Amino acid sequence: MEDAVPKQHSRMKHYRKQPLNSFQPKRQDSIWKRVKKHRGLLALMIPGLIAFIIFNYVPMYGITLAFKEFQIRKGIMGSEWVGLKWFERIIQDPYMRVVLLNTLKISLLKLVIGFPVPILFALLLNEIRSVKYMKLVQTVSYLPNFISWVVLAGIFFSIFSVNGPINALVQMFGGKPRIFLSEQSSFVPILVFTDIWKGFGWGSIIYIASIAGIDPGLYEAARIDGASRLKCALHITLPCLVPVITIQLTLQIGGLLNAGFDQIFNMYNASVMRVADVIDTYVYRLGMINREYSYATAVGLMNSIVAILLIWIANRAAKAAGNNYTLW
């Protein structure tokens, strides 16, 4: 990458007979000369640039709503500043604590229980002798990832319904049928389980790819020394996965405040609100149902600031742990 710079320029300007070190920043053409020279290239970026500005940066300006009292007539710009009013309300809002705890509880459960599953699955897949069978299992396991939560929620309503197969199994073992999705004690476990069910296969791809990149010589050497398959998995495969695991873990920790809006929004109902309502669903109802634009924006802003802090801390921790496998 780095040496592409001199090469490119040296070919283009060879007639100038400049010395090799002429590409030091000091002797570079002025920025406007370069803009003029590469205007064709810059022009290609215009549509994307406009899209980024309008649909990513203009809404960022809208965040000022979090410090204003929004009035539809006056618009975002004309509405009056109210300082930290909405953030004070966040602190005083007793329901805020409920949704925050729910969010952390659900995403921590998903992290702790769900994170090792794709790794374990990739390790097990790697042990399958028949390539055909392995491909079959892989292909099937990716499938749920391609189905929208809307449809999956519909399916799970049926699976966990009073007449569904889960209750059939419960009754087979002498239990009483339950309305799983309307009971607070079973709703969160179902969220965690179905989330893992949807994502474990897809999440394993990145580990499978890393396993494929491991030098086979390592395994041969270990086998000659008499290492068992379990030992090979534990002492060769797993350590080779540490970089990927670190990056994935960093990303997941960064997403802790995101408990899975699509899933919860489609699966929750009034009777499990106490345990299932999370920040994102709360923001949605605050904004789109109650039309409390300013407050909803403030909650959303707080959410994304904490999310950025989390990912920064996680990345810092990964660095501090002494490995180079960090996000930036």
- Residue 153 or 188 with smaller CB distance to another protein: 153
> Rule CB under 8 A: is residue 313 a binding residue for another protein?
no
> Rule CB under 8 A: is residue 128 a binding residue for another protein?
yes
Of the residues 84, 101, 112, 140, which one makes contact with another protein according to CB under 8 A? 140
Name residues contacting another protein, limited to 153-192 (CB under 8 A).
153-159, 163, 165, 167-169, 171
Q: What is the DSSP letter of 68?
A: E
Count of chain residues binding another protein (CB under 8 A): 95
Name residues contacting another protein, limited to 68-127 (CB under 8 A).
76, 121, 124-125, 127
Closest separation in Å from C-beta 326 to another protein = 9
Q: What is the 3-class SS of 126-193, one letter each residue? A: HHCCCHHHHHHHHHHHHHHHHCCHHHHHHHHHHHCCCCCHHHHHHHHCCCCCCCHHHCHHHHHHHHHH
Helix-, strand-, coil-residue percentages of the chain, each rounded to 5: 75, 0, 20
Of the residues 151, 234, 242, 251, which one makes contact with another protein according to CB under 8 A? 151
**Closest by Cα among 309, 304, 323, 291 to 71:** 291
Closest separation in Å from C-beta 254 to another protein = 8
* CA distances (Å), origin 73, targets 57, 76, 129: 23, 9, 68
Look-up: residue for tokens 């007793």? Answer: 94
Of the residues 13, 18, 27, 62, which one makes contact with another protein according to CB under 8 A? 62
Closest separation in Å from C-beta 257 to another protein = 12
Closest separation in Å from C-beta 198 to another protein = 10
**Cα(208)–Cα(155) distance, rounded to whole angstroms?**
29
- Residue 27 or 34 with smaller CB distance to another protein: 34
Specify whether the CB–CB gap between 64 and 76 falls below 8 A. yes
- Residue 35 or 321 with smaller CB distance to another protein: 35
- Residue 101 or 136 with smaller CB distance to another protein: 136
Of the residues 42, 101, 221, 234, which one makes contact with another protein according to CB under 8 A? 42
Look-up: residue for tokens 């009034």? Answer: 270
φ and ψ at 200, to 5 degrees? Answer: -65, -40
Name residues whose C-beta falls within 8 Å of residue 216's C-beta, 6 or more positions apart in sequence.
none
Name residues contacting another protein, limited to 264-303 (CB under 8 A).
266, 283-284, 287-288, 293, 296-297, 300-301, 303
Closest separation in Å from C-beta 91 to another protein = 19
**Cα(62)–Cα(78) distance, rounded to whole angstroms?**
12
* CA distances (Å), origin 24, targets 10, 11, 15, 108, 154: 12, 16, 18, 50, 62
Closest separation in Å from C-beta 275 to another protein = 19
Name residues contacting another protein, limited to 197-236 (CB under 8 A).
197, 201, 205-206, 209, 223, 227-229
> Rule CB under 8 A: is residue 51 a binding residue for another protein?
yes
**Region binding another protein by CB under 8 A among candidate stretches 81-89, 107-115, 135-143, 183-191:** 135-143
Closest separation in Å from C-beta 45 to another protein = 5
* CA distances (Å), origin 135, targets 118, 124, 125, 129, 144: 16, 13, 9, 11, 16
